[in-house]
A = this chain, B = another copy of it.
Amino acid sequence: MFNTVTIVGVGLISGSFSLALKERALVKKVIGVSRTEASAQKAIELGLIDEALPLEEAVKQADLIYVAIPVDATIGVMQQVMDMVTDKQIVADAGSTKHALCAAMDVHPMRRRFVATHPMWGTEYSGPEAAVRNAFVGRSCVICEKEKSDAAAVATIEEVYRQLGMHLVYMDADSHDMHTAYISHISHITSFALANTVLEKEKEEDTIFELAGGGFESTVRLAKSNPAMWVPIFKQNREHVLDVLNEHISQLRKFKACLEKENYTYLQELIEQANTIKRILK
């Protein structure tokens, strides 16, 4: 499908993307662009990239430029990439927020070579060592504002994600940011705050280590996530995140009120309501 793909950022998403392309023989050569020499070296060692190059040279050689870096750096890098890109190349990003980036790209003369995407897959780890095989499979990928991209570029990107085993969902950038605040971003805040709660209350760390069962590990797993990735997401998606965070605090207050007032009938109802999430999850 591609001769050369350039990944900008050599981390969890771009690294796993590269491995997936290579496994399916969808690319001959992957070039990596990294801020640090150490990450570039690591990415070569791990077989994520064949070569590391500076941005300008890496963009020049690529059929597809795939940008997967913290969202606060994305817009600046994308401006540089888009200024260099030709009609023969496709640019895509994998960011967790879409509104600010799409708004910035709207005014770029090469906008139609850009496809805004968000593969809804990740782990709590980051960096080249976090890249894994068989990522993305069975998950959704959101494509935003496809009507602003060339149809052929969109078709290529759609085909790549389909080959990776993803199913495609289409949204405008605003809707994307709202829905991901509800379904992904709030889970991270919950998990960060739960970790801080337990660290604050449970002064005996050995006890956490000994007693932590599958339930605790499951709810607190995302608390290991990298602030370099998440602070910029919360910043760019501030309003939607605040909106759902307020709702979450008010839901927790209902549990608190039930316990304070010993209203176990209502507590039962709250839990039964929560149980209905069963029918929605896969």
Interface membership of chain A positions 256-275, coded 1 if the CB is closer than 8 angstroms to chain B and 0 otherwise: 10011010100110111111
The reply on A3 being an interface residue by CB < 8 A is: no
Does A35 reach chain B (CB closer than 8 Å)? no
Select the stretch in A57-65, A97-105, A195-203 that faces chain B. Answer: A195-203
A196/B253 in contact, CB under 8 A: no
Contacts of A241 in B (CB 8 A): 259
Check: A109 CB closer than 8 A to any chain B CB.
Answer: no
Taking the nearest CB of chain B, how far is it from the CB of A13, in angstroms? 12
Number of A residues, CB within 8 Å of B:
93
CB pair A183–B216 under 8 Å, yes or no, is yes
Partner-contacting stretch, out of A41-49, A86-94, A150-158, A184-192: A184-192
Q: Could you tell me if B194 and A187 are in contact, using CB atoms closer than 8 angstroms? A: yes
Mask, A110-143, CB within 8 Å of B = 1, is 0000000000111110000000000000011010
Q: Which residues of B contact A77 (CB under 8 A)?
A: none
B208 and A280: CB pair below 8 A? yes
Q: Specify how many copies of this chain sit in the oligomer.
A: 2
Contact A193 B238 (CB under 8 A): no
Do A183 and B202 have beta carbons less than 8 Å apart? yes
Contact of A280 among B183, B209, B218 (CB under 8 A): B209
Q: Which residues of chain A have a CB within 8 Å of any CB of chain B?
A: 120-124, 139-140, 142, 167, 169, 179-180, 182-184, 186-202, 204-205, 207-227, 230-231, 234-235, 238, 241-249, 251-256, 259-260, 262, 264, 267-268, 270-278, 280-282
Query: Nearest 10 CB-CB pairs, A to B?
Result: A227-B271, A192-B274, A195-B274, A195-B277, A193-B251, A187-B219, A197-B248, A223-B274, A120-B213, A182-B202
